[in-house]
Chain A
Amino acid sequence: MTEEKILLDHGSGGKVSHALFSDMILPLFENPELSKQDDGATLDIDGTKLAFSTDSYVVDPIFFPGGNIGDLAVNGTINDIAMCGAIPRFISVGLIIEEGLPVKTLKTILESMARAAQKAGVRIVTGDTKVVPQGKADKIFINTSGIGVIPPHTDVSGCNAVPGDKIIVSGTIADHGIAVLSSREGLQFDSNIQTDSAPLNKMVQSLVQSDCDVHVLRDPTRGGLGTTLNEIAAQSRVGMKIDELSLPIRGAVRGTCELLGFDPLYIANEGKLIAFVPERDAQKALEIIQQDEFGKEAMIIGDVTREDPGSVFLHTAIGGVRIIDMLTGDQLPRIC
C-alpha cells in the first residue's frame, strides 16, 4: 500500500482494488477458501459442498432505468453464489439507512427485493436494520449475503480455465454501468438503456446439470468484462484471445461510450455471465444459455490459449491486436 488514505480508486474493482486485497486483506485473513479468490467461497461441511458469498451495494442513484438498489442487491448475491456452480437458497439482508429517507422509498426498495428473491426462488431469511444520522450515509446502503448448495461432481472455479476452452458471454455488455450513469446527477442524458440486473441462477443450473464440462463461471460486474477476463487469466495461468467483432454491445451503449470516452470492456454488468467450456461442449453450452430468458444474445467471444499466460488479447475489427488490461483506476470521461 503506497497511499496513506483510502481513495475512491480502492473501490473501483480494478488494479488498485486488487492490490488492496492482495497486499492487506488476504495476508491478514489467509485461508484456503479465501485464497481461491472466486466470487464466493466454496465450503465443504461434512461432505456437503456449499457456496457462501457477500456483497455490499452503494449505487448512486438508488433508482435507475430498469431497477433499483434493492433488486440489484438480491440479484448480485444470487449471481455470486451461482458463479460457484451452486444453487442459491438463502439470503440475508443488512440495511444501513440514512435518517430522513422517505418510508415510501424504503418500501419500494424492499418490495423490489421481495420480488427479485421470489423470481429467483431464494428466501430472505435473516437481516439487520441500522439508521445513521443525516450525511453519515447516502440514502441507503445494502449488504446481502447468501448460501447455496453445490451439486455433486460440480467443480467450477476461476482457476479451472485450460487452453482450448471457448469463452461464452451470455449477452450484451456494459448495459448496467451506462444505465446508472445515464441517470446520475450532472450527467442526465436520454437513453433507452436499462440495467441488465437479473438472476442468473437458473441459467447456471441448466448449464451445470447438462453434460457440458463447465470449467469457469464468472459475472463480470464492477471492473467489467476486461477486468474479469484478466482475473481468470491470472488465476488459471492461461492466455486469452477475444474477437472484437463478436462482442455483443448495444448500439446505444457503444455510442454513449464513444461520447464519454469509456471503454465498454470496463463497464459494469449485473446480469451477465461468462462461461469457459471445452471446445467440444461450446455449441451446446451456448444453446443452453440462449434458451434462458436472460441469455438470448449470448455469443462465443474467444478462446483460451497456452501462449502469454496471464494476458488477454483483443483481435480488433480492423485486423489489429492489442492487450486488454485490468481496469486501472476508475474510468474517467475525456475532456477534449
Chain B
Amino acid sequence: MSLKYIEEYRDALLARGLVKKIHLVSKKNLRLMEVCGTHTTSIFRHGIRSVLPEGITLLSGPGCPVCVTAQRDMDAFVAFARVKNVIVTTFGDLMRVPGSRSTLAREKASGADVRIVYSISDALAIARENKAKEVVFCAVGFETTIPTIAAGILMGIKEKLDNFSIYSAHKLTPPALAALMETEGVSIDGFILPGHVSVITGTRAYQDTFEKYDIPSVIAGFEPVDILTAILRLIQQNEAGAPALENAYARAVSDAGNEKAKQIMNQVFEICDATWRGIGQIPSSGMQLKQAFKKFDAAIKFGMDMPDVPEPKGCACGEILMGLKTPYDCALYKTKCTPMTPVGPCMVSSEGSCAAFYRYS
C-alpha cells in the first residue's frame, strides 16, 4: 500500500464529516463490537470513542491472538524454553504473557534461548543456522498468519529441516463470532469485522454467521475513516432495522478472499476444536497440523501434553473479550494488573483491550 494511500484515508476533514453524519443518524443506544485487536488500537490511538455519540458503546472483541491464547498453551511455550538445546522463536507480544508460573521473558532472563522473530521465515533461518539445536516456533494468530506458517512448514520440508517444529495455537474468526452470539448475556448490535483476516477469508466466510443471527456486520480497514465508515453503516443498519453484511474495505477484501493463501493453509492444517482464553472451548475454531505434517508438531516431538489450568483468580479477560465487561469492571485493572505486571494477556499485547484502555484513556 503506498503511503499516499494511507495519508488520503487519514484525511482529517473526511473523518470529521463522518463524525457529523454519525451524530445526525444516531438515535438508538447501540453496542458495537470491533473484533480485531488492530481495530482496538486504532480506535484508541485516534480518539474515536471521544467523538462518538454517548449512546454508542464500542466493545473490544476476541480478536487479539495473544489475548485469546489459552494459559496451557503459554505454559507449553515456557516448557519448551526450559528444554535443553531448544531455541524458542516467538512473536514479541508473547514474551510477557504470564503462563501459570513464568513468562518467556523471565525464562530468557534465566538463560533460556528465546528469540523474537517477525515472521516464520526468521525462525526457519535460525533453524538453518543452528542445526545442532531444535527450533520451536510458537504459532499463534488468525487466518492472516496461518497461511504464512503453512508456507513455512512447506519450506521446512523442501529444505529437509528436521530440527524445526511449531506449536499451533492458531484460531479461526467466524466460529468465535458464532460462539459469542450463543453466549448468555452477550448483547451486541453489530460487528466491525476484521480487515486483515477478511483479506484472506473473503466476505463469504461470514455469510453463515450473518444469516443465522441476522446481525449487522461491516468489514472495515484500519484508518480512522475506515472505522468511522463502518460505525456509520452499522448505525444506519440498526436505525433502519435492516441488518446486512457489508464490505467497507473493498480496496483490499474480495468476496472469495485469497484463494491461494487458503489453499496453502488447508494443505498443511486441518480444523480442530480450540480453547480460547476466558471463553473456553469453541468447536472447530482452531487449526492443527494434518497427519502428514505431524513431524513438525512440537508437542508430539517433545511429548509435551500440558494440563488445562485455571486462569488467574479475578482476571476478567474472558468476559472483557466477550463484551460482558469493560476493563473498568475488573477488580485487578490498574491495581494488580498493569502493563508492567500483567495478570491477563489483554494487558500484555499491544492490541489487548486492557492495555489499550490503560495506555489511552
Residue ranges of A at the interface with B (Cβ–Cβ < 8 Å): 2-3, 5-9, 15-16, 19, 186-187, 245, 251-252, 254-255, 258, 261, 263, 314-323, 325, 328-336
Contact = CB atoms under 8 A, between A and B. Distances in A.
Nearest to B36: A336
Contacts of A315: 47
B92 A318 contact: no
A330 B38 CA distance: 18
20 contacts: A2-B341, A5-B109, A5-B110, A7-B109, A186-B117, A261-B350, A315-B47, A316-B46, A318-B47, A318-B228, A322-B46, A322-B50, A322-B361, A328-B355, A329-B96, A333-B91, A333-B92, A335-B66, A335-B92, A336-B144
B340 A317 contact: no
Contact of B105 (A7, A316, A335): A7
Given A186-B125, A261-B41, A318-B19, A328 B359 contact: yes
Interface in B1-19: 3-4, 6-7, 10, 12, 15-16, 19
Interface of B: 3-4, 6-7, 10, 12, 15-16, 19, 36-38, 41, 44-51, 63-66, 91-93, 95-96, 105-106, 108-110, 116-118, 122, 125, 140-142, 144-145, 196-197, 224, 228, 338-341, 350-351, 355, 358-361
Given A334-B351, A335-B66, A319 B51 contact: yes
Interface of A is mostly: loop
Nearest to B197: A336
List the 5 shortest-distance A-B pairs measured between CB atoms, nearest first.
Answer: A320-B47, A332-B92, A328-B339, A318-B15, A317-B12
B222 to A, nearest CB: 8
A251 B4 CA distance: 8
Contacts of A331: 350
A258 B95 CA distance: 21
Given A5-B109, A318-B16, A334-B93, 13 more contacts: A2-B340, A7-B105, A8-B108, A15-B340, A261-B41, A263-B45, A317-B15, A328-B338, A332-B95, A333-B91, A334-B350, A335-B140, A336-B142
Contacts, number: 136
Contacts of B49: 320
Contact of B122 (A186, A252, A330): A186
A15 B355 CA distance: 14
Contacts of B3: 251-252, 254-255
A70 to B, nearest CB: 27
Nearest to A251: B3
Contact of A9 (B64, B105, B197): B105
A5 B107 CA distance: 10
A15 B341 CA distance: 11
Contacts of A322: 44-47, 50, 360-361
A255 B1 CA distance: 9
A334 B340 CA distance: 18
A320 B51 contact: yes
B10 to A, nearest CB: 6
B43 to A, nearest CB: 9
Given A9-B105, A261-B38, A263-B45, A328 B358 contact: yes
A272 B65 CA distance: 36
Contacts of A333: 91-93, 118
Contacts of A332: 91-93, 95, 116, 350
A258 B42 CA distance: 10
Nearest to A323: B360
A331 B45 CA distance: 14
Contact of A336 (B37, B45, B110): B37
A5 B224 CA distance: 41
A191 to B, nearest CB: 11
Nearest to B228: A318
Contacts of A258: 6
A270 B262 CA distance: 44
Contacts of A323: 359-361
B99 to A, nearest CB: 15
Contacts of A329: 96, 339-340
A84 B49 CA distance: 39
Contacts of B197: 336
Nearest to A318: B15
A329 B44 CA distance: 18
Contacts of B361: 322-323
B196 A318 contact: no
Contact of A321 (B50, B116, B339): B50
Nearest to A5: B109
Contacts of A8: 105, 108-109
* Central interface residue in A19, A314, A329, A334, by most chain B CB within 10 Å: A334
Given A2-B341, A245-B12, A332-B92, A321 B6 contact: no
B20 to A, nearest CB: 10
Nearest to B110: A5
A116 B360 CA distance: 39
Nearest to B227: A318
Given A332-B95, A334-B37, A317 B141 contact: no
A316 B47 CA distance: 6
Nearest to A266: B359
Nearest to B360: A322
A310 B198 CA distance: 41
A172 B142 CA distance: 35
A8 to B, nearest CB: 7
A15 B359 contact: no
* Central interface residue in B95, B141, B338, B355, by most chain A CB within 10 Å: B95
A334 to B, nearest CB: 6
Contacts of A320: 46-51
Nearest to B339: A328
Contact of A319 (B19, B105, B144, B350): B19
Nearest to A330: B92
Nearest to A253: B3
A335 B51 CA distance: 28
Contacts of B339: 15, 328-329
